[in-house]
Structure formats: C-alpha cells, structure tokens
C-alpha cells in the first residue's frame, strides 16, 4: 500500500543550512551517516533546492531509471549546470528535446569512432607523462587535469598544434577553474571582481573561440577528420537540418565540463589506490607490459566503483505523481540514485572499501549496481570515451614510470558537482630506466 502523498522518507532533522553545509563540504560522510540512521532511502533538504530523496536500493534505482521522460525531468533537476554548459546541453534538456539532442550526439561515441581516436589519445598521454617530474613527491591531479584538457582540445574540439590550441588551452583552463566556484552555481553577481563577473567574461571569450572554430570547419569542409566536432557538424535533425552553431557550442561545452574533471579525478583516485596496494600495482604493471587488457580493464572498473567522482546520479525532478519502492512522490520532489552508497553496500560488494580489481575478472558490472556513469536513458554518452582515456593514460604512466606514495587513503574534497582527492593524489614517479639502473647497482 502506498503511503500518504504528503509523506517523504525520513531524513536528517538538522536545519536546512546545516544539511547544505554538510553536503557541500563532506558529502561522503554525510551520505554514510544518513544510511546508518535511515537505511537505503532518505530525504535531505538544502537551500534553494527541492526536497531531495536519495535511493540506495538497486530495486528502487531500477524503477527510477525506467520512469517515462514526461514523469521525471533530470534536465530541470540539473538546471544549475545551464550557465556553464548552455541551454542546448543534453544534460539540461528533457523529454523530446533531450531525446533529439542525444540522438544527434550518439554516433560520435560509437566503438569505431572511439577506436579512430586511440592513436591521438596515446600520443597526448605519452608526451604528457614524459614531461612530469621524477624522483619527488607531487600532486598528480593537476597533471592529469592538463592531460584530460589536452585530450578534449585535440580529440573533441579538433584542434591541431599551433597558436589556436595554445590560446584555447589558456582560456579553457581559466574557464574550468572559475566555473567550479559556488557563486557561479548560484548565479550570484556580487559586483566587480566577483567570481560570477569573472566567469561571464571568460565564458564569452571561450564560446567565441568555439564558434570561430566551428565556422572555420564548416567552411573548410574537412569531412575526413575523426574528431567529435566533425561528427557533430555532420549530424542532422529529423528534418534534415544541421545543428546550429549554438547547439554545437553547448554540446562541446558539455563534453568539456563533464569529461575534464571527472576523468582527471577518477585517474587520481585510481593512482591513490594503486600506490596503497603494491600487489595490485605490480600485477597491473605486468599486465600492461605484456599487452594484456583484462586486468587493466578490471582495475579501471574497480577504481570507478571504489571512488566514484559523482556521489549521486543527476537529480530527477518529479513532474507527475509516481510510486517507487512503495513510496508515492508528488511533483516538486527530486529523486536520485545514491551511487556511492550502492558501490559500498556489503550485500552487493563484499569488503566494499577494499580496492580489489580481481572482483571484476570474468564479471560484467551490474546495470543497477555499478553506476559511475549514471543509468537509464540519461547514462553518460561519453562513458566509453572516458574509459578509453583512463586506459591509455594508465598504460603510458606504467610504461614510463614506477609509482610510489603514501599508504593512507586521501579524503575526498568537493569540486563543483564532483569529488576529488583532497591532497591531489600525492605520488612519487621514478623513471623505469632509472629503476633498472638502481636494481643493477
């Protein structure tokens, strides 16, 4: 029997401001504390947001992801992203508009398209790793951010070496830095020098550079290129018309924002876990040296389970009454899958806090139990691209260097809507050639 329509699952009773502060500053401990107190379904309330119900039971998540697009609106639930990504971003659209934009983008991420980009990714990764400091402890995360940005500029935006690439590298580094500020998410203009003012200035410049790139490529008609920009230029709406400059710009911005920080942080967490588990690291290096992909893929799958950079899926705003797991939800409530909690449920994953790639050997991830890229019709379009990028970067790193670092796990720190290692994934890299010299001495 359904509960009364006014009822919501229980949740913390702290003032809204306190719940907001806990979610913004320590999201993982906040989620785990709520699960201990309230179980796999709980309600939180935050400043300026709809009541927020987190679901950590895979059965509930399966129902959530199956709901029709006219019942739940993830685009409205994620409207905070619109200033950063644009009004045509596939992440902020709902119903037919979302479906059409997603159909336009899907061909760019087919397997053969990803394969065509592998050589470019390998070139970028090998060159980047070769330039990283050796024999001193460093924060790896900033270096990985630089790699993922370079991959997007080259493989997604289609930039070649030269002054345009240099200019975009500078502008988009600033764009990504300032776009993570809370005042940008809140769209608060606090006057000259404020983060919002700085963001709007760099956004205008960044979008202008992209429009110039798009128009030059339209004029050049370079149909034989493999980058994602070229694929978007070739896409056609159902009526045969091409995507507009604004549509393509918004989708490129979406791929930039969604693909840059997430992949860099996933790689950072993976390296933090690898240096803490030398047996796993040794086995992985042997697999990479032998050109064997199974253990590498298992390591990436486990890294994405163990430290997902998105703690929850994109919130889905209820626009028509629904029932999930025996609870009735009225319009105005937001529902989300609690990704981190599902990934750390001992009923699903024995020893869930242990980094154990072996759990994935010969095992396929579950549709509703492994959710680093969300799920349902809103599953991340760039999932295969992100996993390819992680594979290529880890291969380059392990071929060129030996990793070591602190044995303590790094706490998570919030960055925009993602989490990242608090200390930047501290590691020491030693050149493989130097390691052999020391061993022979």
Q: 47-90: per-residue pLDDT in tens? A: 888 999 999 999 999 999 999 999 999 988 777 788 888 889 99
Token pair of 144, please? Answer: 């990985």
- Which CATH code fits 16-440? 1.10.630.10
Determine the pLDDT at residue 135: 95
Residue 1's pLDDT is 35
pLDDT value at residue 161: 84
Dig out the tokens for 409 from the structure: 């796990």
pLDDT at 179: 76
pLDDT at position 15 is 95
Under 8 Å CB-to-CB from 29, ≥6 apart: which residues?
A: 22
Mean pLDDT value across residues 374-385: 91
pLDDT in tens, 314-359: 999 999 999 999 999 999 999 999 999 999 999 999 999 999 999 9
Average pLDDT of the residues in 249-275? 93
Would you state the pLDDT for residue 416?
A: 73
Q: How confident is the model at residue 7 (pLDDT cuts 50, 70, 90)?
A: confident
Give bridge partners of residue 421 from the DSSP assignment: 412
Contact call for residues 423 and 412 (beta carbons, < 8 A): no
Model confidence band, residue 389 (pLDDT cutoffs 50, 70, 90): very high
| Mean pLDDT computed over 166-170 | 92
- pLDDT at residue 196, rounded to an integer: 81
Return the pLDDT at 185: 64
User: Is it the case that residue 307 has pLDDT exceeding 90?
Assistant: yes
Q: Residue 233's pLDDT band (boundaries 50, 70, 90)?
A: very high
Q: Which residues share a beta bridge with 337? A: 55
Asked if 86 and 249 count as a contact pair (C-beta separation under 8 A), the reply is yes
The answer to whether 142 and 173 have CB atoms below 8 angstroms apart is: no
Q: Which residues pair with 324 in a beta bridge?
A: 327
Mean pLDDT of 251-261: 88
Q: How far is the C-alpha of 254 from the C-alpha of 200, rounded, in Å?
A: 16
Where are the domains positioned within the chain? Answer: 16-440
Q: Is the pLDDT at 201 greater than 60, yes or no?
A: yes
Percent of the chain with pLDDT over 70: 94
Beta strands in 121-225 (DSSP E): 137-139
Q: Are 109 and 398 within 8 A, CB to CB?
A: no
Q: Has this prediction a pTM greater than 0.95?
A: no
Q: What is the pLDDT of residue 182?
A: 63
304 pLDDT more than 70: yes
Q: Which residue has the higher pLDDT, 208 or 439?
A: 208
Residues whose CB is less than 8 angstroms from the CB of residue 380 and which lie 6 or more positions away in sequence, other chains included? 258, 373, 374, 386
- When the pLDDT of each residue in the chain is averaged and rounded to a whole number, the result is 90
Render pLDDT for 90-144 as a digit per residue (tens, 0 to 9): 988 999 999 999 999 988 888 888 888 899 999 999 999 999 999 999 999 999 9
What are the structure tokens assigned to 340, written together? 């981190």
R_g (Cα) of the chain, nearest Å: 22
Helix%, strand%, coil% for the chain, nearest 5: 55, 10, 35
Closest CA to 406 of 287, 214, 277: 277
Phi, psi of 407 (to 5 degrees): -90, 0
Q: Is pLDDT of 212 > 90?
A: yes
**148-153-157 Cα angle (round to 5):** 130
> Can you give the pLDDT at residue 188?
64
Average of pLDDT values for 377-392?
A: 93
């Amino acid at each position: 029997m359904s509960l009364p329509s006014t009822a919501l699952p229980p949740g913390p009773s702290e003032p809204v401001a306190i719940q907001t502060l806990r979610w913004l500053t320590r999201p993982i401990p906040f989620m785990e504390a709520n699960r201990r107190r309230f179980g796999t379904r709980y309600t939180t309330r935050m400043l300026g947001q709809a009541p927020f119900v987190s679901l950590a039971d895979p059965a509930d998540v399966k129902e959530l992801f199956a709901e029709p697009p006219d019942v739940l609106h993830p685009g409205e639930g994620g409207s905070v992203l619109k200033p950063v990504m644009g009004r045509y971003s596939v992440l902020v659209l709902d119903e037919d508009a979302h479906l059409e934009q997603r159909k336009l983008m899907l061909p760019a991420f087919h397997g053969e398209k990803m394969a065509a980009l592998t050589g470019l990714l390998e070139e970028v990764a090998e060159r980047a790793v070769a330039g990283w400091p050796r024999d001193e402890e460093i924060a790896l995360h900033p270096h990985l951010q630089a790699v993922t940005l370079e991959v997007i500029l080259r493989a997604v935006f289609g930039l070649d070496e030269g002054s345009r690439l240099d200019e975009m590298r500078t502008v988009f580094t600033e764009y990504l830095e300032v776009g993570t500020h809370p005042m940008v998410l809140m769209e608060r203009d606090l006057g000259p020098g404020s983060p919002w003012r700085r963001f709007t200035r760099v956004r205008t410049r960044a979008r202008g550079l992209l429009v110039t790139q798009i128009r030059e490529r339209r004029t050049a008609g370079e149909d034989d290129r493999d980058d994602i920009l070229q694929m978007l230029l070739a896409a056609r709406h159902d009526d045969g018309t091409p995507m507009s400059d604004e549509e393509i710009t918004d989708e490129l911005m979406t791929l930039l924002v969604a693909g840059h920080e997430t992949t860099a942080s996933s790689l950072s967490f993976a390296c933090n876990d690898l240096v803490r588990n030398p047996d796993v690291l040794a086995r992985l290096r042997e697999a990479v040296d032998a050109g064997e992909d199974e253990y590498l893929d298992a390591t990436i799958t486990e890294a994405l389970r163990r430290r997902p950079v998105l703690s929850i899926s994109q919130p889905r705003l209820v626009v028509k009454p629904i029932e999930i797991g025996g609870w009735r939800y009225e319009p105005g409530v937001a529902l989300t899958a609690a990704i981190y909690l599902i990934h750390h449920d001992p009923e699903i994953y024995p020893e869930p806090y242990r980094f154990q790639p072996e759990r994935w050997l010969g095992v396929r991830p579950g549709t509703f139990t492994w959710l680093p890229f969300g799920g349902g019709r809103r599953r991340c379009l760039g999932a295969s691209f992100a996993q390819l990028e992680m594979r290529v970067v880890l291969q380059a790193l392990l071929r060129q260097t030996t990793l070591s670092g602190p044995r303590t796990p790094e706490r998570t720190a919030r960055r925009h809507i993602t989490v990242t290692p608090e200390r930047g994934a501290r590691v020491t890299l030693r050149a493989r050639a130097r390691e052999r010299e020391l061993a022979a001495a």
